[in-house]
Chain A
Amino acid sequence: MIPILILAIIGGGFAVFSIVAGSLAGPKRFNKAKLESYECGIEPSPQAFRGHRFPVKYYLTAMLFIVFDIEIIFLYPWAVAFNSLGMFGLVEMVLFILAVFVVYAYVWRRGGLEWD
């Protein structure tokens, strides 16, 4: 644990140092255009005060990700302990993955995996 902390401090220190150094070392010449966000030269489109709206599709992907990520969390300890679980472990996992496959097939048929 402690070595990871040391590495985190080194990495974080480097990042903070670079950002501070970057803001100190560069020139500063005021120009109103520099304060605008970049949209290829056209007037920046007005932004909502807090947050943006974006396609609901991304939320769906995130939810599906959670389903499969939890599956992975179940898979890992099973994989590590596989040799001691024996045939029981195999049958259990076949049943579990079949159950997940049902969900998967349902999501697929309902168009949850389509992008257009």
Chain B
Amino acid sequence: MSIAAFAPTAAGHTASLGVFGHDPWWLSLVKCLVAFVFLVVTTLLMIWAERRVIGRMQARPGPNRVGPFGVLQGLADGIKLALKEDLIPAIVDKPLYILAPIVASVPAFLTFAVIPVGPVVSIGGHHTPLQITDLPVAVLFYLAMASVGVYGIVLAGWSSRSPYPLLGALRSSAQVISYEVAMGLSLAAVFLYSGSLSTSAIVASQHKLWYALPLIPSFLMYMVSMVGETNRAPFDLPEAESELVAGFHTEYSSLKFAMFFLAEYINVTTVCAIATTLFLGGWRAPWPLSLIGNDTLNHGWWPVLWFLGKLFVLLFGFIWIRGTLPRLRYDQFMRLGWKILIPFSLVWILVVAAFRELTNEGKSRLTTLMYVGIPIAAIVLIWSFVTEARINRRLQQEQDRLQAAAVSQRDAYPIPVLAGVPSMDVPAVASTTDDGPEVLDD
């Protein structure tokens, strides 16, 4: 298997996928098992940590009975779910209904195959990278798996044949595809810099500078869209319990429900791992530590520690956001995705490209800033004028409307006429006085 032949050899970084594909079968199996166990254990710990942390944030202890500090809570929940009755409503489309949790959880596992956890190490006499495999299009593989995962959700909602799951599934799919656009666009800037779609090459190209620093807007957009993509608070509209009971998995119980739960948490872990890989230097040691010795901390098994550290910080961010922000309304949420993130990321890509091109041509920093900055300043200026004009026009319209209403509906209710409230005519009560309500005169 020589995927090296397809490796993109864009100028700048030569992606070396040659180290992949030489593992004996048992080594691949070991790596896969480790990844699998890691994901399941992370999920169990994450469930516990989330409840503990949110508990603390809300000034209550959270689960603290099962095991030390309640750390076995996730496991206990899993066992409890396994011993619950497996309800299947009579109306469901049974094959799809049973298939859905599998379709949701398998792609979630698969994405982790392309996450680089560490550099090349020696295991049992074999030199092998700490990554299950890598592809020339690894990030594309990640995006593809994220999309396939949606099928599980859609199938679950569709096959349940019940209103709440259907609505949850629809919301979820609309949400995921909307934020996938924003996510895809935010990643393009990274590829501009790395010149490769393979995750190990992207980590390798960050040896000087993590992409989160020069590409801060991309990083922030990715952070927002990864929360949207995984249906997590404050974007957890598909399972908004105050509106949709439990969303797409309302009709699921027992371990089928647990599968959706597992898939969600694995997806959270995966998007965090991708954020680490693409923006935070992957397994590379954080700045002051990377200076120690002769790059010692970037070799051997040390990098696993840095990778896990970054991953857990991001996971904590997920919990933190959930404990802090209220859920968005659906129209606000879609507006954020389509009207803010997408145009902004399109413009940002052009800015990055222009900047990079001018730097490549050897222009001085000042010239580059001028070439890139002046058009942006012009756009922002024009945009602010347009926005201001629009706001003024809207205010003017509102005022005109109010005045017109005040003149024409002296006897209307409510008094005074309120903006946004439809006023209705009240049959004129025998008007005894003629000095109408003075308050209405402006």
Contacts and interface: CB of A to CB of B under 8 A. Distances in A.
Contacts of B1: 1-2
A70 to B, nearest CB: 10
A93 B181 CA distance: 17
B346 A101 contact: yes
Contacts of B346: 97, 100-101
Task: Tell which of B33, B91, B101, B106 has the most Cβ of chain A within 10 Å.
Answer: B106
B11 interface: yes
Contacts of A113: 334-335, 338-339
A61 B89 contact: no
Interface in A72-102: 72, 75-76, 79-84, 86-87, 89-90, 93-94, 97, 100-101
Given A4-B110, A38-B162, A22 B10 contact: no
Contact of B191 (A7, A18, A55, A79): A79
Task: Tell which of B192, B343, B356 has the most Cβ of chain A within 10 Å.
Answer: B192
A61 B8 contact: no
Task: Tell which of B11, B112, B158 has the most Cβ of chain A within 10 Å.
Answer: B11
The interface residues of chain B, by DSSP majority, are classed as helix
A37 B89 contact: yes
Contacts of A38: 89, 162, 164, 245, 250-251
B254 A7 contact: no
Contact of A83 (B259, B334, B360): B360
B317 interface: no
A106 interface: no
B81 A22 contact: yes
Interface in B335-364: 335, 338-339, 342-343, 346, 349-350, 353-354, 356-357, 360-361
The interface residues of chain A, by DSSP majority, are classed as helix
B353 A82 contact: yes
A11 B81 CA distance: 19
B28 interface: yes
B188 A76 contact: yes
Contacts of A104: 342-343
A54 B188 CA distance: 34
26 contacts: A4-B132, A4-B133, A6-B32, A15-B105, A18-B82, A22-B258, A26-B85, A37-B160, A37-B161, A38-B89, A38-B162, A38-B251, A54-B170, A58-B170, A68-B184, A72-B184, A75-B349, A76-B191, A82-B192, A82-B356, A84-B11, A87-B357, A113-B334, A113-B335, A114-B331, A116-B331
List of 10 A-B pairs having minimum Cβ-Cβ separation, nearest first: A22-B255, A11-B109, A37-B162, A115-B331, A79-B191, A72-B184, A35-B90, A65-B177, A22-B254, A68-B181
Interface of A: 1-4, 6-8, 10-12, 14-16, 18-19, 21-23, 25-29, 34-40, 44-45, 47, 51-52, 54-55, 58, 61-62, 64-65, 68-69, 72, 75-76, 79-84, 86-87, 89-90, 93-94, 97, 100-101, 104, 108, 113-116
